[in-house]
Amino acid sequence: MIPVIELKREYRAVRDEISRAIRRVLEKSWFVLGEEVEAFEKEFAGYIGRSYAVGVNSGTDALFLALKALGIGDGDEVITVSNTTTPTALAIVHTGAVPVFVDIEPDTLLLDITQIRKSITKSTRAILPVHLFGNPVDMAPLLEIGKAKRGTESTSQLNIYPVCCFLPPLNILCYCLFGHI
Ligand SMILES: Cc1ncc(COP(=O)(O)O)c(C=O)c1O
């Protein structure tokens, strides 16, 4: 049988580093927030090219908080992709907004960007693409759609909040469940 996801191989490649990190946390016995989380937030912000990153309890809350920070709520629509997990839709619904689903591309299984324009209405406030199966969504055409909707030439006029859900089979290797904004 060919496994869909091969986590053991990934683990073997970083085993010593992971063991050292786990030992360090156990020795400090500081399991919630603290120096390790702060160090990770700094390192992760640098990795994604941002000034700040904040760890939260779950990917669902990371999505919800990012949407709230954008002021999204009752009567708004958020475009997302139909093959995402329920937390994406739940985070949108939890703000009071309505998720509007766009289908996927058959080759990449990622959001079909060509379908987004048809789904934009007066109530559209955000596009929530999901990077899955190790494949990133091509952000350049999405930014063009955002700029056209906002009536601006500049990407700096757009609010872009990278949200990361950490779960072992997702895009970044990890050994826990949490979220990052
Ligand atoms: C694409 C995607 N978004 C959001 C989530 C939610 O993350 P969490 O389970 O940490 O709330 C998941 C979890 O599987 C996910 O796969």
Q: What is the pLDDT of residue 175?
A: 74
Mean pLDDT, all residues of the chain:
91
Which residue did the predictor score with more confidence, 61 or 169? 61
User: Is the shortest distance between the CB of 171 and ligand 1 below 6 Å?
Assistant: no
pTM of the predicted model as reported, rounded to 2 decimal places: 0.88
User: What is each CA distance from 176 to 1, 123, 172, in whole angstroms?
Assistant: 26, 36, 11
Strand 178-180 versus strand 55-56 pairing type: antiparallel
Helices (H), the chain: 7-28, 34-47, 59-69, 86-95, 116-119, 139-150
Does 170 have pLDDT greater than 80?
A: no
Nearest CA-CA partner of 62 in 32, 90, 82? 90
User: Is the shortest distance between the CB of 89 and ligand 1 below 6 Å?
Assistant: no
Under the banding of pLDDT at 50, 70 and 90, the label for residue 168 is confident
**pLDDT digit string, tens, across residues 80-108:** 999 999 999 999 999 999 999 999 999 99
Q: What is the mean pLDDT of residues 72-79?
A: 97
- Indicate the residue type of 139: M
Q: What is the mean pLDDT of residues 25-29?
A: 94
**pLDDT digit string, tens, across residues 104-137:** 999 999 999 999 999 999 999 999 999 988 789 9
Q: What is the mean pLDDT of residues 12-36?
A: 94
Mutate to test the pocket of ligand 1, among 88, 163, 167 (most ligand atoms within 8 A of CB): 167
Q: What is the mean pLDDT of residues 138-167?
A: 91
